[in-house]
Every structure is written in C-alpha cells, then in structure tokens.
Amino acid sequence: MGPVNSTTRPVFRFAPSPNGRLHLGHAYSALLNAKMAQEAGGRFLVRIEDTDQTRCTPELARECLADLAWLGLVWEEPVRVQSEHFADYDAALARLHAMGAIYPCFCSRKEVAAHALAARDPDGQPLYGGTCRRLSRAEGLARIAADARHGWRMDMAGAEEPAAPQWGDVMIAKRHVGSSYHIAVVVDDALQGVTHVVRGRDMEAATAIHLLLQRLLGLPSPHYHHHDLIRDDAGQKLSKSLKSASLASLRAAGVAAADVRAQLGF
C-alpha cells in the first residue's frame, strides 16, 4: 500500500454541545472516536455544537476542550464552532424550503400540545398535529417578515421515509433560540468530510432524520455506529443522573486522567 492519501483517509469527529460540563459518557465517546480514527489511519476532529445559544456558552466550550485535552486527546485545529456558521445552516434551510420539504411553524409550546397526535417521537415528545402545515407559503413568509417567532418542521405528509412514522413533522430548526441542531450536524459532517459518525445509542433514532436531510440536500451519508451508553449503578444515563461524575469534578477530586481512561477501557 502506498502512502495514505488525505482524500481517502477516514474522518471521525467528536461533537459535544457545550451546555454543561463533559462527563464520563462524553469521555467514552471521544476516546472511542479517537481510537477508531487512529486504528483506521484516519483523522480525528472535535466540533463544538453550540447552535442553542440559550444553553451553550463560550466558557463551557473552552472548558469542554480543556477537559478533552486533559484526557490526553489530540485533534486537528481549527475546531469548527457552529455558532460562527449560522449562515451555512440558513442557506441549507432556504434550499429545503424552496423544495417544499420544510415549513415554518409558529405554534407556541401550548398550541403544539393542544393539537398533538397521540403517538410520541423517540425523544418522548408528542407528534406534531400539523397546524402550520396548512398555512399557505405566502402567509408563512408574511409572518416571518413580520418577525414572528418560528421554527422549521419537516413536511412528512405522504413521505415514505423511515423517519416519517417515527418522528412526524419533526422540528429541525428553532430560529428564536438560534438552534438548528439537525441541519447543523448534517451540513457540517458533509463540509468537514466526516466519513464515520460514532455516537451514543441515544442518537440512533435521530439518524433517520439525518439520512433524510442528506438525501434532500444531496450530501453524502457517512457510516453510522451507535455505541452503548455508559451507565451508573442505577442504570441511568450518566448525562442526566451523575452530575458529580463530570470530568472537572473527577479531576478536582484528584483522579488521574489515566485512571479515567483505564476505567473506560482505553
């Protein structure tokens, strides 16, 4: 085999949302990505997914990177920070809107609940009843021009998509909080040439949405691998239950990074 060509090297990424400190579950995912990248002779990227500006802060983003460095991880610079690229995500939304794949939704949380369908999506939210799907395009645009709060939903009516029955008209961007998570993740994975998405099982159901968005936007689909979640003794997801196990708190308690790695099997 000749020298590894950068265009064919696999690209892995760890993409934390800095809305809190990283915990052992994040450490596991980051270490697994770095290890798989290394074993494949590939590249390892870190991406800051901070489109939700109501919950993410630059301070938390800095601390995330510091925690990863403490673990001994090395990634390529520069780190892509999603809040610096809203224009890219807006352009993708505009394309989807132009092709009729999404529509703006002006419903409050209360209105969504009042007209929700009985079924729930994989995140436990009731499926959207479709109120704003019935608005005309002109009316939607007029309300946006008048600065009405809105998000964007996939129009799944009649769609023969694996994502359709599971997710219904799922919200893919919440403009008033600057959050466009599903859009940002597929746009960036394509832009950064990510070939392998390795993330927790809690993201598995969202992959159907990501595959759909990639197809609509003409973007390549990476390989997906969803790893088991690290659990505490009570079997709860660490992210929700074990605040005390943040990497920062372990470090403050004098735990060595090598011990954390060993405990996680790296």
Binding-site ranges for ligand GLU (CB under 6 A): 15-17, 49, 185, 197, 199, 203
Q: How far is the CB of 174 from ligand GLU (least distance, A)?
A: 15
Q: How far is the CB of 17 from ligand GLU (least distance, A)?
A: 4
Q: Are 42 and 195 in contact (CB under 8 A)?
A: yes
Nearest of 234, 231, 22, 116 to residue 46 by alpha carbon: 22
103 vs 180, beta carbon nearer ligand GLU = 180
Q: Are 144 and 93 in contact (CB under 8 A)?
A: no
User: What is the phi-psi region of residue 147: left when phi exceeds 0, alpha when psi lies from -120 to 50, beta otherwise?
Assistant: left
58-70 and 24-39 helices, crossing angle to 10°: 60
47 vs 175, beta carbon nearer ligand GLU = 47
Q: Are 197 and 225 in contact (CB under 8 A)?
A: yes
3-state secondary structure of 236: coil
Residues making up the chain, counted from first to last: 266
197 vs 213, beta carbon nearer ligand GLU = 197
111 vs 202, beta carbon nearer ligand GLU = 202
Q: How far is the CB of 181 from ligand GLU (least distance, A)?
A: 7
Nearest of 259, 229, 244 to residue 23 by alpha carbon: 244
Q: How far is the CB of 228 from ligand GLU (least distance, A)?
A: 15
101 vs 206, beta carbon nearer ligand GLU = 206
Q: How far is the CB of 86 from ligand GLU (least distance, A)?
A: 16
203 vs 211, beta carbon nearer ligand GLU = 203
Q: How far is the CB of 202 from ligand GLU (least distance, A)?
A: 8
Q: Which residue has the tokens 């990074």?
A: 257
Q: For residue 158, what are the contacts with CB-CB under 8 A and spacing of at least 6?
A: none
